Structure 1
Amino acid sequence: MSAQSVLVAAAALLLTACGGGSLDREMELQPPPVAPAADVTVLMMGNSHTTVNQLPQQLEALLRAGLPGKSVAVAVAPGWLFLDERLADSQSLALLRSREWTAVVLQAQKYSTTGMYQYSTAGAEALVREARKAGALPVLFPEWPRRGVAETDTIYDLHVSIARQQPACVAPIGQAWDLARERMPALTLHAADGNHSALAGAHLAALMLYATLTGTSPLGLPVIDIGGDGVTQTQLRQVAAEAAQAYPPRRHCPADKAPAAQGLAAGNTMGATPPSALSQ
């Protein structure tokens, strides 16, 4: 590969799933996180798309609201890493293997923003296998499209290809964003950089993850304190319910129930996909 090609590839990587990359020195010095104890435990592995605007905390609040009587803990693996880097990170693997998780959410698969390159999905597939060894339901988190770029199907189809190799749920987050932009064109979903989420975008992603994890519609959820104004949350719940109905997120989930996956119980299931791995 020529030096020019190397530079082009590097530039493409910088635009891909922004926020991924090696840990900075401060993060490297932090002690490894401790696995939480709760009835429902979710581990999120990704980059800045996973953590911006308190997305994990929003998901935890939604799960608590939707699962009364259950204790819920959502943990985030250390640092911002692509999935192939995550597989090589000892702290992340130690956390993943430290307990039986209810679910593991995987975000930050590399993809070519130009369409000129192909990146391996072997790391993501290996993490799906590791999640299942940990008794967890693996959930793939395809990022929303960048502002002004029609890439929802490309990103979603890439994650579906991973699930076909190693069965996992695939959350239709990009499709939900597209529907929200169509229904509410004045709503700000993207941050100023056009890549990361604004608060409403993070809330919509959390709603889609809730629907994916539980196999139930988010329509009955209440307003949460950290999700933005109540009117917008109500509108986004409707969007999330419709997106999950059109693109059943559990279509590619494992058929077998994971040992630790008894914490989530399905109520109003969505689409034709049965609530298998996480529901009773």
Structure 2
Amino acid sequence: MMGNSHTHFSSLPARLEAMLRASHPGKTVAVVAAPASLFLDGHLKDAQTLALLKGQSWHYVILQAQKYSSSGAFSYSIAEAVNLVRMARQAGALPVLFPEWPRRDIDETGRIFTLHVSIAQQAPACIAPIGQAWEIALQRHPGLALYAADGNHSAAAGAQLAALMLYATVSGKSPSAVPDIAFADVSPEVQLQLRLAADDAVKALSPRKYCPQDASML
């Protein structure tokens, strides 16, 4: 996983790893986050990130932290993200784009997702509809604590929902197939609510829409 604080916050990589382990018994699973917390243009130039990418074989490379204008008034280059997608494929991995969820009370899910579609249109990649899942979950359960106090980063339940969407994207399986995971900070009741929201997000917008030729490597 390459990204910034949205990747590292609330143990998201560990949650994804736990889901993959639980639903793929007998397989060896490791989810590793690049040590630096950077935007994707920074990861492209970061020696540690590149050494990790090239130093061993990966089934998937998850890319988060494409720069975008919070006001919508400016455009940032996607060339760096396109290069990382291509590098992941050259390394034998399936690239997965991780669009962030919207900031609290800001209507930006579509804009963020469309930005990632523009990357996949230049270099095919799977796209996890994470923001859409957050919207479904909050429409059904407005009291869900998906956000950290800053209204931007994920609380534990938000990281759990993002991990469910990444799980569905890399495994090709329904989020409802994930059993309760032993994270004390998200109750079984909330985990069920999150799985059902993730299920409907995947049904509405397939994570494999922009990588239809790619089969799951798990």
TM over 0.5: yes
Unaligned 5+ segments in structure 2 are none
- Cα deviations across residues 211-254 of structure 1 (Å, max 9, x unaligned)? 00011101121111126100100111011011011010011116
Q: What percent identity do the matched residue pairs reach?
A: 59
Partner residue in 2 for 1:250: 208
Q: Which of 146, 165, 179 pairs up with 2:136?
A: 179
**Equivalent of 1:146 in 103, 124, 142:** 103
What SS does structure 1 have at the residue aligned with 2:30? strand
Alignment of structure 1 residues 74-223 onto 2, 5 Å: 74-223=31-180
Are 1:230 and 2:168 an aligned pair?
no
The structure with the largest alpha-carbon Rg is: 1
Q: Tell me which amino acid in the other structure corresponds to 2:200.
A: E
Query: Across the two proteins, how many residue pairs are aligned to each other?
Result: 217
AA aligned to 2:165 is M
* Residues 211 and 218 in structure 1, CA contact (< 8 A), matched pair in contact too: yes
Report what 2:215 is aligned to: 277
Query: How far is 1:91 from its partner?
Result: 1.1
**CA drift at 1:277:** 2.6
8 Å contact 1:137–1:277 — kept in the other structure? no
Say yes or no: does 1:68 pair with 2:32. no
Q: Could you say what secondary structure the match of 2:31 adopts?
A: strand
Question: Is the 1:168–1:254 Cα contact (8 Å) retained in structure 2?
Answer: no
Structure number with the higher helix fraction is 2
Instruction: Report if the CA contact (8 A) 2:59-2:217 is conserved.
Output: no
Q: Name the aligned partner's letter for residue 73 of structure 1.
A: A
**Aligned partner of 1:54 among 2, 11, 36:** 11
Report the secondary structure of 1:101's partner residue: coil
Relative contact order (C-alpha < 8 Å, sep 6+): which is higher?
Answer: 2
Runs of 4+ in 1 over 4 A off after TM superposition: none
Please provide the CA RMSD for this pair. Answer: 1.1
Change (3 A) 1:105 1:198: same
Kindly indicate whether the alpha-carbon contact (under 8 Å) linking 1:215 and 1:279 is maintained by their aligned counterparts in 2: no
